[in-house]
Structure 1
């Protein structure tokens, strides 16, 4: 990879997560599907790219977050650490809609 490439914070987050997901899927596809909640075909698209290709993709996408937080993230963060995992696993993860007013 070209280490001279300067990435924004959003781009770094996108690249880090894509590379992590790629590594996990290459080691254990079933575990990746369970851990990240993506389908096998989603992981197939990720693992078919070399790290340099993922970097190029992330640079091209710009500051668009590819992975958005759960809609209930504030609620989960407010829970005691011992309770949050049970609540998170009991509720399906949904992505909150982003509004300009939220920014």
Structure 2
């Protein structure tokens, strides 16, 4: 089974998105999945979409253009608000993926 590919997006594309990626990795590992992630800022999303075949985007800063893949607002998840709701949405999206290699 291939890893779940998630693009993490925050305002600067560094610290917050890296923390988000680490937290997503923990959740996915608890559910038996591996994570392949990268971090960027909102203006970097179009370039990131061209360089990898992402499954979904988890963001803490708004993204202007629709990238054509599921996007999850991860702000509450990152700070501990409505974590269970976010995890349910995340796992629902992961369940829709074809993770065969």
Same fold (TM over 0.5): no
Larger Rg: 1
* Greater RCO (CA < 8 Å, at least 6 residues apart): 2
**TM-score, L = length of structure 2:** 0.30
Q: Which has the higher strand share?
A: 2
**TM-score, L = length of structure 1:** 0.29
